[in-house]
Amino acid sequence: MNTISETAKSIDERNISVRDVTEDYRDNELRAKNKKEVENRYRELLKRANKVEEILSIEDKLGEIRTEIENSEGHINYLQNRIKYSTLEISFYKKIAESNLSNITFFDSLKKGWKMLIDVLNSLFSFWPFFIILVILYLGIKNYRKKRNSKN
């Protein structure tokens, strides 16, 4: 961070955030350890169980405890990855000088005006087929009226 900061002309914003996951990590570690002890006790009970009902009940409870252990261990792994792979986000930008109208010269204005005139003429020339059709229609209507008036 210091090396990058030294190369910058100015820094608009610097935001460093840290999240301490120690308590969360230890809590999940302790929870997993306790659940493993409970799991071992249930395994001992399973060895001594005689009835099918007792066996099914203990195995059901073992399944729940195993799920809780896996959840805690999964969260521990997630926290370990967060610790190993921290994120550093840096954004750079370059300020562009604002255009100032007082910098525009008389000749720049003439160039822009000429360019706009050329653009308008190019646009009009792209409509030449419509102009031809309009001229033909105009001449046709004029000729039709002339013939009609000569009959009357």
The runs of H, that is alpha helices, within the chain are 2-7, 22-48, 52-84, 106-125, 128-151
**Which of 8-17, 37-46, 111-120 bottoms out in mean pLDDT, i.e. has the lowest?**
8-17
Percent of the chain with pLDDT over 70: 90
Taking alpha carbons only, the member of 67, 104, 83, 81 closest to residue 19 is 83
Give the pLDDT band (50/70/90) at residue 116.
very high
**Rounded alpha-carbon distances, angstroms, from residue 109 to 101, 117, 119, 151:** 11, 12, 15, 59
CB 73 within 8 A of CB 35: no
Global model pTM greater than 0.85: no
For residues 45 and 40, what is the distance between their CA atoms, to the nearest angstrom?
A: 9
Which pLDDT score is estimated for 99?
57
What would the pLDDT profile of 78-90 be if each residue is shown by its tens digit? 888 877 776 666 7
pLDDT in tens, 17-33: 777 778 888 999 999 99
pLDDT at 60 over 80: yes
Q: First-to-last CA distance in the chain?
A: 97
H or E stretch including 7? Answer: helix 2-7
